[in-house]
């Protein structure tokens, strides 16, 4: 697509600079920056990191004067920009800009800038994705041209696009363009929340059911950001204005990502940045007489359904429902990995029935993570769900391969990771080798060298996740990053507990000895797994004990095989399974 280059002007953020803008522009550029719709990026670097505001307007001079004159009286962020002697503004114009496109470009800039490591705070008060419009097909190409030209001015503030797109912050951002299914779900959830709060209802449950890769995290992130905007003191929504809202997740690395997003985007309750927490923290700090208005639970299948050392209750979801007026829970029973999270069919049916009473059960059906044909997605699903291995379909868009050895698998992942355009690629494995968090195994044979917990197959071995010590520079760069984003982890193997909730561009999965092929079917061997949370019996409400290993080990396989966006490489330790998989390759 042969498109004109964007026109970008960088000025100091001041009344004198904006007043003189036209005088400094050549005639052919003047109309595109002064009379056409424009996008602008106000930025300052008060310390090591940047504060940024992104906007769009049909009159850049008038809008800038408003930001410098009126806005500082009512908003702290504009007061800081106005008083700073170092704040600047990029003004972006283009021959093909129209109102709809500048709104889309603004939204995409919010998406990118909230994912940039050097940016501490991004402010704007809306999400504004546009549906179809004239020239919508040009937007992505124009945005890339804009970003690259901005990068020429400031590489720290505008990093390489692929670096941003690979970050966990980018993938969890509320500024993704939602699908029609996600948009309908979000509006339906907000309507149910409004009805519940308006009618003074309590303990209301909205259940969002979706399999791995169905866009649940993006939906919840977008919902949280939208609720935060509607809760502002100047919101026109009288029902949601001032409503307290929380997001809970029982996953350490996802918690870190959400907390970073909340801080960058100013998501808070009043002046308190306590929006994102773990369930136990929320339960401890709220009572039935001190209820929150809205609680969103991402990955609700990770909630505990029995007590633990750090949790004295019996069921976290029940305890949260008692402490909130409305609970929005995102759930996928096929991602339950531990007996502590187990929910039997009767309990799940009860939850669905409770949500359905007020139209609060929402099912997400689209597969958004895997960029593959329907035939490839069905092949993966049949292997997991039906435990059947069929012929591997031809797919020009998705690289699905069976590897002959762990060495071949590792080499393929390293090859993919070495090309930055491929994005993040990592090895993963079923939990079939010993690993104890926060404790190293004893060195062998009196050696003083610290040993690691390894995935070992014959002479090949590699350490489990988060054991390779990063260099000093890597340690600094790793702050706040998920496991797969850290450079040194290319030499490690990730577990389900590390990778759950995240995706990879290419995933190399080692299917360990707990998964075998016998009598024409995939089967699960409880004794071969080292995941005690999956193999130990669960005591049910009636006091009986139940072995859950087949279900939980299947879920483990499900989590691993659905991580790869553009490709999946598989090595099976079990010889029969490996041979049948190799026999099915195209």
Assess whether pLDDT exceeds 80 at residue 132.
Answer: no
Assess whether pLDDT exceeds 90 at residue 352.
Answer: no
What pLDDT, in 10s, does the model give residues 217-256? 999 999 999 999 999 888 899 999 999 999 999 988 899 9
Handedness of CA 311, 346, 245, 126 (dihedral sign): positive
What pLDDT, in 10s, does the model give residues 413-424? 999 999 877 889
**Cβ burial, residue 224 (10 Å; 0-12/13-18/19+):** buried
What's the pLDDT at 565? 94
| Average pLDDT along the chain | 91
Phi-psi region of 274 (alpha: psi -120 to 50; beta: other; left: phi over 0): alpha
Assess whether pLDDT exceeds 80 at residue 382.
Answer: yes
What's the pLDDT at 439? 83
CA distances (Å), origin 353, targets 185, 193, 370, 477: 18, 18, 31, 47
CA distances (Å), origin 88, targets 60, 159, 299: 14, 18, 40
- Cβ atoms of 321 and 205 within 8 Å: the answer is yes
- How many alpha carbons fall within 13 Å on the CB side of residue 295? 31
What pLDDT, in 10s, does the model give residues 457-503? 999 999 999 999 999 889 888 888 899 999 999 999 999 999 998 99
What pLDDT, in 10s, does the model give residues 160-192? 998 899 899 999 999 998 999 999 999 999 999
Mean pLDDT of 521-535: 94
pTM recorded for the entire structure: 0.90
Distance of alpha carbon 536 from alpha carbon 161, whole angstroms = 45
What's the pLDDT at 420? 78
List Cβ<8 Å contacts ≥24 apart for 456-460.
Answer: 457/406, 457/510, 457/573, 458/406, 460/405, 460/406, 460/407, 460/410
Distance of alpha carbon 1 from alpha carbon 449, whole angstroms = 57
* SS3 of the chain: helix, strand, coil, percent, to 5: 40, 20, 40
Mean pLDDT of 428-436: 96
Handedness of CA 564, 184, 351, 313 (dihedral sign): positive
Q: How confident is the model at residue 544 (pLDDT cuts 50, 70, 90)?
A: confident
Bridge partners, residue 11, by sequence: 89
Q: How confident is the model at residue 450 (pLDDT cuts 50, 70, 90)?
A: low
């Amino acid at each position: 697509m042969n498109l004109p280059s964007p026109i970008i002007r960088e000025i100091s953020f001041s009344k004198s600079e904006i007043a003189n803008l036209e005088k400094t522009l050549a005639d052919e550029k003047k109309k595109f920056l002064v009379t056409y719709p424009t996008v602008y990026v106000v930025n300052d670097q008060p310390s090591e990191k940047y504060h940024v505001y992104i906007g769009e307007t049909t009159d850049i001079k008038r809008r800038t004067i408003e930001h410098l004159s009126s806005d500082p009286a009512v908003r702290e962020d504009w007061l800081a920009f106005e008083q700073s002697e170092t704040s600047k503004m990029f003004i972006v114009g283009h021959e093909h800009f129209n109102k709809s496109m500048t709104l889309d470009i603004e939204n995409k800039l919010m998406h990118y800038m909230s994912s940039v490591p050097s940016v501490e705070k991004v402010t704007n008060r809306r999400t504004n994705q546009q549906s179809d419009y004239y020239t919508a097909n040009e937007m992505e190409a124009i945005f890339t041209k804009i970003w690259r030209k901005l990068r020429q001015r400031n590489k720290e503030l505008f990093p390489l696009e692929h670096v941003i797109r690979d970050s966990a912050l980018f993938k969890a951002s509320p500024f993704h363009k939602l699908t029609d299914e996600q948009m309908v779900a979000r509006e339906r959830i907000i309507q149910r929340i409004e009805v519940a709060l308006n009618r003074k209802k309590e303990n209301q449950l909205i259940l969002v059911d979706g399999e791995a890769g169905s866009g649940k995290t993006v939906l919840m992130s977008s919902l949280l950001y939208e609720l935060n905007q509607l809760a502002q003191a100047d919101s026109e929504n009288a029902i949601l204005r001032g409503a307290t809202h929380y997001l809970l997740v029982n996953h350490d690395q996802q918690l870190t990502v959400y907390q970073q997003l909340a801080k960058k985007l100013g998501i808070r309750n009043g002046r308190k940045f306590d929006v994102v927490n773990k369930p136990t923290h929320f339960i401890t700090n709220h009572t039935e007489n001190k209820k929150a208005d809205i609680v969103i639970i991402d990955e609700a299948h990770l909630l505990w359904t029995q007590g633990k050392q750090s949790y004295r209750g019996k069921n976290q979801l029940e305890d949260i429902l008692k402490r909130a007026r409305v609970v929005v829970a995102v759930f996928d029973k096929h991602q339950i990995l531990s007996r502590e999270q187990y929910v039997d069919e009767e309990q799940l049916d009860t939850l669905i029935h409770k949500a359905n009473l007020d139209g609060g059960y929402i099912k997400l059906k689209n597969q958004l993570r895997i960029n593959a044909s329907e035939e490839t997605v069905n092949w993966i699903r049949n292997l997991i769900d039906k435990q059947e291995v069929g012929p591997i379909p031809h797919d020009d868009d998705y690289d699905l391969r069976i590897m002959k050895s762990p060495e071949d698998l590792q080499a393929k992942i390293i090859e993919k990771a070495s090309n930055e355009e491929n994005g993040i690629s990592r090895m993963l494995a079923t939990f079939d080798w010993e690993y104890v968090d926060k404790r190293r195994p004893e060195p062998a044979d009196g050696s003083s060298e610290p040993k690691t917990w390894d995935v070992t197959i014959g002479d090949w071995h590699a350490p489990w996740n988060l054991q390779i010590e990063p260099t000093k520079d890597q340690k600094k760069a790793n702050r706040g990053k998920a496991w797969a984003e850290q450079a040194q982890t290319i030499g490690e193997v990730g577990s389900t507990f590390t990778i759950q909730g995240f995706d990879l561009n290419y995933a190399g999965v080692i299917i360990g000895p707990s998964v075998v092929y016998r009598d024409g079917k995939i089967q699960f061997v409880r004794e071969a797994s080292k995941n005690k949370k999956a193999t130990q019996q669960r005591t049910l409400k009636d006091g009986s004990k139940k072995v859950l290993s087949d279900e939980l080990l299947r879920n483990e396989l499900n989590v691993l095989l659905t991580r790869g966006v553009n490709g999946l490489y598989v090595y099976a330790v079990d010889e029969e399974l490996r041979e049948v998989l190799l026999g099915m390759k195209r």
